Amino acid sequence: MTKPQGLHQTVYAGAFVHSTDLNELEICENGAIGVDEDGKIAFVERNVEDLNAVVEKHGWKSPVLVRAPDCGFFFPGFIDTHIHASQYPNAGIFGKSTLLDWLETYTFPLESSLSSRPKAKTVYTRCVQRTLSHGTTTAAYYATAHAGSTNLLSDVCLQLGQRAFIGRCNMDSLAPDWYKDSSASTAVDDTRETIAHIASIDPEHKLITPILTPRFAPSCSSELLTQLGKLHAETGLPCQTHISENIPELELVQKLFPQYSSYADVYDAHGLLTPGMVLAHAVYLTPKEQALIKARDAKISHCPASNSSLSSGCARVRTLLDQGITVGLGTDISGGYSPSVLEAARQAALVSRHVAMTDGDAAKLSVEEVLYLSTKGGARVMGLDAKVGSFDKGLEWDAQMISLGVVPEGGTMGNVDEGPVDIFGWESWDERVAKWVYNGDDRNTRAVWVRGHKVHQKP
Ligand SMILES: O=c1[nH]c(=O)c2nc[nH]c2[nH]1
């Protein structure tokens, strides 16, 4: 990717909503955001009465104008910090399984079948289209153990314009013979091949970045973890894995790595617990592990829909946040059933209420907090907070246009196809946003931009 082609100065006018902090959602009813030819935010104006005056003030000549709908707003693109693109066809298929039998029954067979490139292309194309349509502008993807199909996922993201981290799954241990790396060194060679491929299609990682992906400790030999730790140090590339998702998994880690004091310590001892590491799930971390993660500044991807679907457990997000650990949200397709980060935000709010039933009300996550986790928090997890996550001057325009349904007055028939959120007109803006979080879906996502380029639009 080089400089985005064909962009014009564009003013996005109308309401915008974004997180300024964990607890702070700025709702600007009358805004104007200027995006330049590089897809970057050049100005953000509030309380706009005269749009022409704003355009003139910034010396812009005839910019393109995009208006938010009357009952709608611009919102930063969602950041999915944990999603298995290769498992997308299984979204919603998990029966009553739990993690380890789910991997054997549903997941390894599907992932293994993506050695077929035509099949991988079909799956990856639809996964990326679908997540874009839900407003996901950045995704941290797990592909499969196949270098060729993993490269295909990079190509698809670049072609469809989604910002993405692409990881080839490293797994040389405790997986079926028909689906595992034959040795630590072949795993690392194949991973290097995917890194080289991305360097060839997007040398500056403007959209696509490789991410080192040891699947999880039980499926990696100590030798593989060591080599990936070295590669992490050598390349400075980010890294992603799973941690502490369910009890039998923890017991397995203790059995496989008895010399280490904890699950987190396994990653730490192999040079993988660093600021560039994204740890998914983190349901059963001990206080000592939390302290270690905080000390290493590793990040956590909270995957509430998956943790419920596979009955893994309830992550203590409030505790993690109180420790100062950086947290974002993951859909975790297909442990999670939905490709929507909005659904993950809703589930984060609901799971926190289940936690509150035992831990007390302080555990509850607010609408403001779950929206922060889905945008700015996710950007911090992925090391992208200087680029995306909110609407500040200098950041790139990764955004979605949300439209809410207006109920006509006087009992006349309206159009229920505008989406599942009904606005009667008497709601405050805070209430409109809350109704979107708890009831909205992709029908409300009218258009999506990445780096200033429109990558999705409702017909
Ligand atoms: O939710 C999960 N999904 C996976 O694919 C996986 N692999 C290891 N651990 C995992 N957890």
Per-residue exposure over 411-449, b if at least 16 CB sit within 10 Å of its own CB, e if not: eeeeeeebbebebeeeeeeeebbbbbbebbbbebbbbbb
Cα of 142 from ligand 1 centre, angstroms: 10
C-alpha 29/C-alpha 87 separation (Å) is 39
Cα of 104 from ligand 1 centre, angstroms: 11
CB 170 within 8 A of CB 220: yes
Average pLDDT over residues 112-134: 98
From 107, 179, 249, 278, mutation site for ligand 1 pocket: most ligand atoms within 8 A of C-beta:
107
Q: Which amino acid is at 145?
A: A
Q: pLDDT by residue (tens digit) across 201-212?
A: 999 999 999 999
Q: Within the chain, how many helices (H) and strands (E) appear?
A: 16, 20
Average pLDDT over residues 193-218: 98
How many angstroms separate the Cα of 437 from the Cα of each of 55, 90, 411? Answer: 33, 25, 26
Cα of 310 from ligand 1 centre, angstroms: 10
Contact residues for 328 (Cβ-Cβ < 8 A; gap 6+): 79, 81, 278, 299, 300, 301, 302, 373, 374, 377, 378, 379, 380, 381, 382
Q: pLDDT by residue (tens digit) across 398-419?
A: 999 999 999 988 877 778 888 9
From 94, 97, 245, 307, mutation site for ligand 1 pocket: most ligand atoms within 8 A of C-beta:
245
Q: pLDDT by residue (tens digit) across 302-314?
A: 999 999 999 999 9
Q: Which ligand 1 atom lies nearest to the CA of residue 111?
A: 5
Question: How much of the chain, in percent, has pLDDT values that exceed 90?
Answer: 96
* Ligand 1 proximity of 245 Cβ (cutoff 6 Å): yes
DSSP, collapsed to helix, strand or coil, labels residue 434 as: helix
Cα of 383 from ligand 1 centre, angstroms: 22
CB 106 within 8 A of CB 419: no
C-alpha 52/C-alpha 71 separation (Å) is 22
* Ligand 1 proximity of 107 Cβ (cutoff 6 Å): yes
CB 75 within 8 A of CB 399: yes
Cα of 242 from ligand 1 centre, angstroms: 7
From 103, 173, 243, 306, mutation site for ligand 1 pocket: most ligand atoms within 8 A of C-beta:
103
Largest CA distance in the chain: 71
Q: What is the pLDDT of residue 5?
A: 59
Cα of 99 from ligand 1 centre, angstroms: 7
* Ligand 1 proximity of 242 Cβ (cutoff 6 Å): yes
Q: Which ligand 1 atom lies nearest to the CA of residue 303?
A: 1
Q: What is the pLDDT of residue 3?
A: 44
| CB atoms inside a 10 Å sphere around CB 233 | 13
pLDDT surpasses 70 at 4: no
**H or E stretch including 253?**
helix 247-256
C-alpha 228/C-alpha 170 separation (Å) is 9
Domain 10-76+390-457, architecture per CATH: Roll (2.30)
C-alpha 180/C-alpha 456 separation (Å) is 36
Q: What is the pLDDT of residue 362?
A: 98
* Ligand 1 proximity of 112 Cβ (cutoff 6 Å): no
Average pLDDT over residues 219-242: 98
Average pLDDT over residues 311-330: 98
Which pLDDT band holds residue 346 (cuts at 50, 70, 90)? very high
Per the structure block, which two tokens stand in for 113? 């079948």
Residue 140 bridge partners (DSSP): 165
Domain boundaries, the chain: 10-76+390-457, 78-381
Q: Which ligand 1 atom lies nearest to the CA of residue 336?
A: 1
More confidently predicted of 174 and 354: 354
Which pLDDT band holds residue 2 (cuts at 50, 70, 90)? very low
C-alpha 84/C-alpha 77 separation (Å) is 19
* Ligand 1 proximity of 335 Cβ (cutoff 6 Å): yes
Decide: pTM greater than 0.80. yes
Query: What rounded mean pLDDT belongs to the chain?
Result: 97
Q: What is the pLDDT of residue 411?
A: 77
Give the least confident one: 287-301, 364-378, 402-416, 438-452: 402-416
C-alpha 405/C-alpha 152 separation (Å) is 38
For 78-381, CATH gives 3.20.20.140
Which pLDDT band holds residue 315 (cuts at 50, 70, 90)? very high
Q: Which ligand 1 atom lies nearest to the CA of residue 218?
A: 8
Among residues 432, 452, 455, the alpha carbon closest in space to that of 444 is found at 432
Per the structure block, which two tokens stand in for 136? 């996901």
How far the first Cα of the chain sits from its last, in Å, is 27
How many angstroms separate the Cα of 208 from the Cα of each of 23, 137, 160, 201? Answer: 30, 12, 11, 9
Q: pLDDT by residue (tens digit) across 280-303?
A: 999 999 999 999 999 999 999 999
* Ligand 1 proximity of 306 Cβ (cutoff 6 Å): yes
pLDDT surpasses 50 at 336: yes
pLDDT surpasses 60 at 171: yes
Q: Does the model's ipTM exceed the 0.95 cut?
A: yes
